[in-house]
Amino acid sequence: DVKVTQSSRYLVKRTGEKVFLECVQDMDHENMFWYRQDPGLGLRLIYFSYDVKMKEKGDIPEGYSVSREKKERFSLILESASTNQTSMYLCASSLTASRSYEAFFGQGTRLTVV
């Protein structure tokens, strides 16, 4: 069973803080993703990575950065958290050799910035 684990289910941070969201997958997947989910907007891609140390911007990268130093771990960084970054964050991974590239998701981190 593929497992994607996000370090926190709920997080409350103050405006201006540097925030790290961690994601680990245990199935040797090449691709990893960070999405943000907001009511009425669905899931929007922030960043993705197709290999160690490689990263690509998604649709809404502003205010975020990422780090992938090891294949199994993909971190999302909010350099200076703002209230408009209050959201649900979902990490996912997928295997390039899979016919469908289906993405497996973590349980999500609900971040509140106050």
Partner 1 sequence: AQKITQTQPGMFVQEKEAVTLDCTYDTSDQSYGLFWYKQPSSGEMIFLIYQGSYDEQNATEGRYSLNFQKARKSANLVISASQLGDSAMYFCAMRYSGYSTLTFGKGTMLLVSP
101 binds partner 1 (CB under 8 A): yes
108 binds partner 1 (CB under 8 A): yes
Residues touching partner 1: how many (CB under 8 A)? Answer: 30
Distance CA 8, CA 39 (A): 20
Letters for 9-38 (x = contact with partner 1 by CB under 8 A, - = none) are x--------------------xx-x-x---
* Smallest separation, CB 92 to partner 1 (Å): 7
The residues near 7 (Cβ < 8 Å, ≥ 6 apart) are 21, 22, 23, 24, 109
What is the 3-class SS of 87-112, one letter each residue? EEEEEEEECCCCCCCCCEECCCEEEE
**Which window, 18-26, 42-50, 61-69, 73-81, contacts partner 1 (CB under 8 A)?**
42-50
Say if strands 73-78 and 10-13 run parallel, antiparallel, or are unpaired: unpaired
Binding site for partner 1 (CB under 8 A): 9, 30-31, 33, 35, 40-45, 48, 50, 58, 88, 90, 92, 94, 96, 99-108, 110
